[in-house]
Amino acid sequence: MKRVFLSLLFLFVGTVLSLGQAADGKIKNVLFLISDDLKASALGCYGNEICQTPHLDALAARGTVFERTYCQGTSCGPSRRSFMYSRYTGDKGVTLGKHLIDEGFYSARVSKIFHMRVPGDIIAGTDGQDVENTWVEHFNAQGDEAHTEGLYRLLNQNISTRAPENRQSTKMPYRMFASVVSDGDGSEQPDFKAAVKTVELLRQRAASKGRFFVATGFVRPHYPSVAPKKYFDMYPLESIPAPYVPEGDLDDIPKLGIAKMTDESSGIGKYPDNIRQMWADYYATVTFMDEQVGKVLAELDASGLRDSTVVIFTSDHGYHLGEHHMWQKSNFHEEAARVPLIISAPGFEPGRSLSMTELVDIYPTVCELVGIGIPEEVQGTSVVPILKDPVAEVKKASLTLNGSGRGLRAPDWAYMRYKDGTEELYDMINDPGQFTNVVNREELRGKKVEMSELLDKIEKQVKN
């Protein structure tokens, strides 16, 4: 019995030492993968039972799934700037890539990391708002987007045609309702090209044996929804439910809390089946993106880099697809502010966490994992304690900001305060869909004050 006990003790100690060594010194490299306009609830590993995301689900099974991660900016530009600088607003300090270069890393961008206009910069193959000193090398991934040959649909106007003319594209008002069932095999798509280039870079890095930071941006499922036909065939309309929206859902949401694009303002509300088709088309491009992620992860294994590389997958913000009759992003509701975050790091056990986290936390987490200092301008908090223990907490709430006001997400409550003084308060335990704004309930007056004061406190802390 004593011998068995000692054997188990040595095994336990050896495992702990192995995990400590991996966390302290084994992680040499960083692979950062970001999707565009991806709502967390679209992924199988976040509970979606319709959308097929086998490669991201496999990554989740090997890593930590963060259930409560929120963006700091509600549109592409501010959000991407926030996590690359780890600043709630602005660009004080140096970017993550520049910091890693200064520490001896090779740093490369493939496609969209800082803001690029989709479709504008993708069609043109241009850099967008890239910060050049973040990278040793950078590569764009061009695509024809809505001009891709195939069946074009403009769902808010109930248009379906193969004609190449008059397609909603760059800067056009209804481009977010466009999709193309491509005639191609997918190799003409920007995400396919991004995966090919990333695979090439990983092979080069494996041969060089130097430390690297490779950041790859996939533009799907950002509009237009473009993918080969087989991905659309996976989601027949009869399999897609409409989003549940209760009667009078917008009545208790302040004007500044309502998205600019709604069922009514866009016209898609006149075509209920097309609302479901938007979901089907979104899912098709999510699955196409997931397949490209799978190619990259397969190369990471094939090149022998998985055991020395932390893989981080996320999105810049979520997306409305008719929930609350709203479309797109740029507000503080759960569908738009919550993002997926999966971190698979050598030496850490898989897990799921309900702890509050933010996109600004990625930068300091990378620094701690690869063993370098964290610049003083960084405002995020490393989530390594959560990787070690999924119930650990690193912050009380997540802050999201835009020109209309501020949003605060705590574990059990969501609070929004707008620049005109209007507010929203939601009980996220009993009302996770945020259907009932309880901000004016007398019995919850104390909770509103508590959340308002916490918002003021956090915002004051980040204004430095």
Average pLDDT in the 68-75 region?
Answer: 97
pLDDT band at 24 (very low <50, low <70, confident <90, very high): low
Nearest Cα residue to 121 out of 190, 53, 201? 190
With a cut of 80, say whether residue 317 has pLDDT above it. yes
Q: Cα–Cα distance between 152 and 168 in angstroms, integer?
A: 10
Dihedral in degrees, nearest 10, Cα atoms 110, 36, 132, 292: 0
| CA distance readout (Å), 403 to 74, 87, 169, 331, 332 | 10, 16, 26, 10, 11
Amino acid found at 3: R
**pLDDT over 90 for what percent of the chain?**
94
Residues 263 and 305: their CA atoms lie apart, in Å, by 47
The pLDDT value recorded for residue 463 is 85
| pLDDT for residue 8 | 36
Q: What is the pLDDT of residue 21?
A: 37
**Cα 293 to Cα 295: distance, rounded to the nearest angstrom:** 5
Q: Distance between CA atoms of 409 and 392, rounded to whole angstroms?
A: 17
Is pLDDT of 460 > 70? yes
Average pLDDT over residues 170-180: 97
Pairing of strands 351-358, 64-70: parallel
Give the mean pLDDT of the chain: 94
Q: How confident is the model at residue 299 (pLDDT cuts 50, 70, 90)?
A: very high
Which residue in 390, 395, 338, 340 sits closest to 364, CA to CA? Answer: 395
Q: What is the 3-state secondary structure (H, E, C) of the chain?
A: CHHHHHHHHHHHHHHHHHHHHHHHHHCCEEEEEEEECCCHHHCHHHCCCCCCCHHHHHHHHHCEEEEEEECCECCHHHHHHHHHHCCCCCCCCCCHHHHHHHCCCEEEEEECCCCCCCCHHHHHCCCCCCCHHHCCEEECCCCCHHHCCEEEEECCCCEEECCCCCCCCCCCCCHHHEEEEECCCCCCCHHHHHHHHHHHHHHHHHHHCCCEEEEEEEEEECCCEEEEHHHHHCCCHHHCCCCCCCCCCCCCCCHHHCCCCEHHHHCHHHCHHHHHHHHHHHHHHHHHHHHHHHHHHHHHHHCCCHHHEEEEEEECCCCEECHHHEEECCCCCHHHHEEEEEEECCCCCCEEEEEEEEHHHHHHHHHHHHCCCCCCCCCCCCCHHHHHCCCCCCCCCEEEEECCEEEEECCCEEEEEECCCCEEEEECCCCCCCCCCCCCCHHHHHHHHHHHHHHHHHHHHHCC
Mean pLDDT of the region 35-43: 98
pLDDT at res. 464: 67
* Helix 362-370 × helix 76-85 angle, to 10°: 30
Q: What is the pLDDT of residue 342?
A: 99
Q: How far is CA 385 from the centre of its chain?
A: 21
Instruction: Give the mean pLDDT of 365-392.
Output: 98
Q: To the nearest whole percent, how much of the chain has pLDDT over 70? A: 94
Q: For residues 194 and 17, which has the higher predicted lDDT (pLDDT)?
A: 194
Domains of the chain with bracketed CATH: 25-142+186-389 (3.40.720.10)
The residue-averaged pLDDT of 337-362 equals 98
Q: pLDDT at position 12, please?
A: 37
Rounded Cα distance between 30 and 186, Å, is 27
pLDDT over threshold 90, residue 5: no
Alpha-carbon gap, residue 161 to 124, rounded angstroms: 24
What is the pTM for the complete model shown?
0.94
Q: What is the model's pLDDT at position 18?
A: 35
Structure confidence at residue 1 (pLDDT): 37
CB 80 within 8 A of CB 363: no
pLDDT, residue 4, reads 34
pLDDT of 9 above 60: no
Can you tell me the distance from the alpha carbon of 164 to that of 112, in angstroms, rounded to the nearest whole number? Answer: 26
Confidence of residue 14 (pLDDT cuts 50, 70, 90): very low
Q: What is the C-alpha separation between 385 and 247, in angstroms, rounded?
A: 43
Q: Residue 255 is which amino acid?
A: K
Burial 289-327 (b: 16+ CB within 10 A, else e): bbbbbbbbbebbeebebbebbbbbbbbbbbbbbbbbbbb
Residue 19 has pLDDT above 50, yes or no: no
* CB 325 within 8 Å of CB 262: yes
Tokens 């199988």 correspond to what residue? 44
pLDDT at 119 over 50: yes
Structure tokens belonging to residue 119: 């479709």
CA-based nearest residue to 423, from 252, 186, 276, 278: 252
How far apart CA 311 and CA 346 sit, in angstroms, is 9
C-alpha span between 74 and 440 (Å, rounded) = 26
